[in-house]
Structure 1
Amino acid sequence: MVVTVADLLKKIKFDVIYSSETALKKEITTSDVTRPGLEMTGYLEYYTPERIQLFGMKEWSYAHNVIGDNRYDLLKNIVTEETPAIIIARGLSIPDEMIHVAKKRDTVLLQSSEPTSRLNGAITSFLDEKLAIRTTVHGVLMDIFGVGVLIQGSSGIGKSETGLELIKRGHRLVADDRVDVYQKDEFTLMGEPAEILRHLIELRGVGIIDVMSLFGAGAVMDYAQIDLTVNLENYEKSNTYDRLGNGETTVMFSDVAVPQIKIPVTTGRNVSVIIEAAVMNFRAKNMGFDATKMFEDRLSALIERNS
């Protein structure tokens, strides 16, 4: 995914000191942010100019109090045509030499009143999310009781119809048919719709409907964490299904393992209600209330009494 300096400005509030049309279109290719410490002393052996350059109190103090007359020449070496942006944190004043360098290199110069560490974290978090590798999976992503549920299954099994029923029951649609999945961090998996399908759902025999127009803004979300996957499959008598709920399985997306529940679909089963119950049970287990363990404890106690 291409991320530009203009995209960063839409997400995080800055005061723009210098910009141009071409500078705003510069691509940001890494989520790493450099606070030029050693670089300020002239050591550029492992310098990475393609990163955003962030100046906090330490860097600002060194530039003001130590460098002196050589400030322009040093900043000219740090800021190159590859540098997407220079950011000054804490509302610190900006040296004239830095403005001249930004204009010379056609690099956006920004100022923020936020503390340096907080600003660094916000920028990195935004870029990590936007630059993450995305994979496309087939399914319907819903927010059910605050749990991100990815509903999957073979074509025509009723995923979109189940999603519509869940929307009518007060839950929220994130994506239908195509879900773009990316890993936010080591433990977190996120999903979002393709832009062309945002807020839309396809129903065979009806066509495409706009969920936001029909059910309101409260019926949709732009993205959600994927906490649970539900796999719908045609009921087969020969198959063995988990009846106690102690057969835990997971599926891998990127490097994140996500719990999976398999639900057999057959005439007369209200799949949306079953998914709601499965999600509530999933939340209860995460809170330490395990109905399966309670049943097994009661069964063990009953066997012990009768023996």
Structure 2
Amino acid sequence: MPESQYSVKLGEIIREFELEVLCTAPDYENVPLRTVDVNRPGLPLAGFFEHFDTKRLLLMGLTEHTFVAGMSSARRRESFDHLLSYPVPGLIITRGLEPFPECLEMAEKHGRTILRTEAHTSAFMSALIGSLFNRLAPCITRSGVMMEIYGEGVLFQGESGVGKSEVAIELIKRGHRIIADDAVEIRQTNHGALEATAPELIRHYMELRGIGVIDVRRLFGMGAIKDKQQIDLVINLEPWDDHAVYDRLGLDSVQTEILGIKVPAITIPVKPGRNLASIVEVAAMNNRNRKMGHNAALELTQRMDQHFEKIKENEGEK
């Protein structure tokens, strides 16, 4: 996989997976990781270093441990000396296995980081790659409001002053949760979905014209916030235009593309007197209903077609 333009510090991975630190390189916590791939160093330990990517984390499981255990002490020292002479960001030993003294000796010699986890190799490798993918995935920032409504991730977009934050406040009072206000960070996950979160600096804060900045967590409690959420629906809020033609049936499936991924999108016109919070709630429920295979607009159209077919048949019989 190509190297990402983003990076994650090794210290963040150590804290996320609660890795035990056995040996450290200088400033090891700030070592940048820029690739989601990891290396199982069986072939390098056997002396084969063709296509050996030194930017990847090394993962040593039971297979590699058993292979190295069959070597003489001098051979092990030589293998680890050769392996750790390369500037690898770290070597992680899985299953709580004991590190070989020769491994720790060569790590000290070359200034490499050795870590350990109790997790089984395959499960840990899968979780590590997933975490690296999410952290290194392309990320963009969009203006808008992100909320979770009946389990659906809804991103509100629209020009400044259209009422996005006001709708969000009403939805929060109804028990729904906010992820981000004003600026929404969006990244692609390893499952091919879009995940939204708020920039760390403004997380849990909202701006309401006439009132100013409020802290949602303090005013409404922990139940009103959420750190991240998958985007399931994009709602575009726009001022009502008497000359515009708005979709009244919902037969056309409109999608918007974000980071190469298509997401269902609808446009809701805003004007005084419309209960936008209720409309948004229905939109979220309807989107969920469609994902389950139910399309009310299509069902109604089919009913009407059947009704008119029967009328035609009856007239033909006369």
What is the alpha-carbon distance in structure 2 between the residues aligned to residue 77 and residue 284 of structure 1? 58
Q: 1:295 — aligned with what? A: 300
Aligned 1:1-307 pairs, distance under 5 A: 1-19=6-24, 22-66=27-71, 68-80=73-85, 82-185=87-190, 187-307=192-312
Q: Is the 8 A contact 1:49 1:79 kept in 2?
A: no
| 3-state SS of paired residue (1:176) | strand
What is the alpha-carbon distance in structure 1 between the residues aligned to residue 106 and residue 135 of structure 2? 28
Paired AA for residue 297 in structure 2? T
Shift of 1:23: 1.7
Paired AA for residue 93 in structure 1? E
Paired AA for residue 203 in structure 1? L
Q: Is the 8 A contact 2:26 2:111 kept in 1?
A: no
Shift of 1:66: 3.4
- Over 3 Å counting, the alpha-carbon distance change for 1:103 and 1:24 in structure 2 is farther
TM-score, scaled relative to structure 2? 0.93
- Over 3 Å counting, the alpha-carbon distance change for 1:219 and 1:80 in structure 2 is farther
Q: Is the 8 A contact 1:49 1:78 kept in 2?
A: no
What is the alpha-carbon distance in structure 2 between the residues aligned to residue 232 and residue 13 of structure 1? 43
Q: Is the 8 A contact 1:139 1:153 kept in 2?
A: yes
| 3-state SS of paired residue (2:146) | strand
Pick which of 125-134 and 211-220 moved more.
125-134
- Over 3 Å counting, the alpha-carbon distance change for 1:73 and 1:227 in structure 2 is same
What is the alpha-carbon distance in structure 2 between the residues aligned to residue 287 and residue 67 of structure 1? 60
Shift of 1:5: 1.5
Q: Is the 8 A contact 1:23 1:106 kept in 2?
A: no
| 3-state SS of paired residue (2:71) | helix
What is the alpha-carbon distance in structure 2 between the residues aligned to residue 93 and residue 72 of structure 1? 16
Structure 2's unaligned 5+ residue stretches are 1-5, 313-318
Paired AA for residue 178 in structure 2? L
What is the alpha-carbon distance in structure 2 between the residues aligned to residue 111 and residue 185 of structure 1? 25
What is the alpha-carbon distance in structure 2 between the residues aligned to residue 195 and residue 275 of structure 1? 27
What is the alpha-carbon distance in structure 2 between the residues aligned to residue 29 and residue 182 of structure 1? 16
Q: Is the 8 A contact 1:139 1:152 kept in 2?
A: yes
What is the alpha-carbon distance in structure 2 between the residues aligned to residue 19 and residue 266 of structure 1? 61
TM-score, scaled relative to structure 1? 0.96
Shift of 1:158: 0.6
Shift of 1:147: 0.8
Paired AA for residue 153 in structure 2? G
For residues 145-195 of structure 1, give each alpha carbon's deviation from its aligned partner in whole angstroms, at most 9, with x where no partner exists: 111110001111011111111111111110101011111136211111011
What is the alpha-carbon distance in structure 2 between the residues aligned to residue 75 and residue 29 of structure 1? 24
Paired AA for residue 208 in structure 1? V
Q: Is the 8 A contact 2:238 2:269 kept in 1?
A: yes
Q: Is the 8 A contact 1:19 1:107 kept in 2?
A: yes
Structure 1 runs, 4 residues or longer, greater than 6 Å off = none
Q: Is the 8 A contact 2:130 2:190 kept in 1?
A: no
| 3-state SS of paired residue (1:229) | strand
Aligned residue pair count: 307
Q: Determine what percentage of the aligned residue pairs are the same residue.
A: 36
What is the alpha-carbon distance in structure 1 between the residues aligned to residue 255 and residue 191 of structure 2? 16
What is the alpha-carbon distance in structure 1 between the residues aligned to residue 205 and residue 45 of structure 2? 51
For residues 195-223 of structure 1, give each alpha carbon's deviation from its aligned partner in whole angstroms, at most 9, with x where no partner exists: 11101111111111000000111111111
